[in-house]
Amino acid sequence: MSPDPDRDAATRLCLDCGLCCSGALFDVVKLQPADNAKALTARGLKIKQGQWFNQPCAALAGRLCGLYRDRPSRCRLFECRQYQGVAAGELAEVEALDRIRQAQRQIRDMERLLASTQGNNLRKPLAQRYATALAGASQSDKPLPPELVPAMARLQAWLDEHFRHPLVRTSLLDES
């Protein structure tokens, strides 16, 4: 069997991205029957009710999965739109990398904006941190940064357009 240069390029992107595990794309990942919750817990994941775990993933080290060979089924099956486009030869690796970098910049901007709010818990998914910031602002005399709401809207639109699959919003719960 000959090597597939497009698949190799997509794999390089995946290893340089980590957005699917960072809490930016998804809030939770549901385990499947083939997944061993006990083994995943032993590897550092905090499995809730034996069925799911929160994002950001505890196994994420920088942009790499710390349990890649033993990752849960949903993680194994998920391929973002950038990965799929490059793997199919429909998207240039450099263009996909540029989109990843743009998403990472927007996420850093959101994190900077959230740093001064009640949504500053980095162990929570980005959308949850944003919701916490909004809720906290209604109970506080400290106003939110004015650019917070439009920045989140831009980021979510970017992630929807370039990373998530249609109809998938913030979890890897019931998607195939």
Q: In the chain, what percentage of residues exceed pLDDT 90?
A: 69
Residue 57 has pLDDT above 90, yes or no: yes
Sign of CA dihedral 82, 84, 88, 90: negative
pLDDT in tens, 151-176: 999 999 999 999 998 755 544 444 43
The pLDDT, as a whole number, for residue 167 is 55
pLDDT of amino acid 16: 83
Q: Where are the domains of the chain?
A: 5-167
Take residue 90 and report the two structure tokens written for it: 């429909």
Q: What is the share, in percent, of the chain residues with pLDDT greater than 70?
A: 93
Enter the pTM of the model. 0.86
Q: Which residue has the higher pLDDT, 147 or 116?
A: 147
In this prediction, residue 49 carries a pLDDT of 93
pLDDT tens for 78-124 read 999 999 999 999 999 999 999 999 999 999 999 999 998 888 899 99
Mean pLDDT of 125-154: 91
CA pair distance 23, 128, nearest whole angstrom = 9
